[in-house]
Amino acid sequence: MERKDHFVTGEYYHIYNRGTNKKSIFIDDRDVFRFLFSMHAMNQEKNVGSISKIIDKDIKIDLDERLVSIVCFNLIQNHFHFTLKQEKKGGIVKFMHKLGTGYTNYFNIKRKKSGHLFQGRFKSKHISNNYQLLHTSVYINLNHKKHGCESLATSWEEFTTAESSNQWFECEKDIILDQFGSKEEYKKYAEGVQLRS
């Protein structure tokens, strides 16, 4: 069945999903590592084959071949959030399908389970203006604080320090950070927005 939402190339979207019946989708550190690696490896048209055979190799993604740009993300025990910019026609749907299918297969094989891991298809909200883009970056980067839980991996450090929380990719954060004089200014803005929410 075809999705009703139509993603426009060059536009930004808030993408999110959670585990079936709010169950955990990340049980241990290896799950988080695998999901982050998949966010990198699946972000291209070509099929990369069995990730279990290549997970420890260096996969290069040509920037011109990316399906999406990942602006920010947050992985929490039973759900995830992304801000994505579609780079190619159908890019978001292809990326999310590859990511969701690949990770579900990994999760089920590892734990000798079958069936759905995620609660239906991923959800999306079009980000239609700059205010919404800035606010969504805060909502995602600090989503774990909103829920009073731990983030397993987030782009917050990448937005506020020199560090990245993963070894596979850097977020395309300039669309946000170029609007601030420094990462410290973004941090103050984000913490102010988070406190008001």
Q: Which of 24-28, 122-126, 166-170 shows the lowest mean pLDDT across its residues?
A: 166-170
What is the total count of domains within the chain?
1
Check: pTM over 0.75? Answer yes or no. yes
Q: Return the minimum-mean-pLDDT range out of 45-49, 122-126, 134-138, 190-194.
A: 45-49
pLDDT of residue 78: 97
User: Does residue 141 sit within a domain?
Assistant: yes
In tens, the pLDDT along 73-91 reads 999 999 999 999 999 999 9
Give a yes or no: residue 90 inside a domain: yes
The answer as to whether 47 is a domain residue is yes
pLDDT digits (tens, 9 = 90+) for 4-32: 568 999 999 999 999 999 999 999 999 99
Q: What are phi and psi of 18, to 5 degrees?
A: -140, 170
d(C-alpha 155, C-alpha 159), whole Å:
6
- Residue pair 168/40 in contact by the 8 Å Cβ criterion: yes
| DSSP 8-state secondary structure symbol assigned to residue 19 | B
- Judge whether 7 lies within some domain: no
Residue 174, both tokens: 């300039």
Beta sheet of 151-154, edge-to-edge order: 123-127, 12-18, 79-86, 68-76, 151-154
In a domain, 32, yes or no: yes
| CATH number for the domain harbouring residue 100 | 3.30.70.1290
**What's the domain range around 152?**
12-196
Neighbours of 27 (CB within 10 A): 13
Q: Looking at the DSSP assignment, which residues form a beta bridge with residue 16?
A: 81, 123
**Is 155 contained in some domain?**
yes
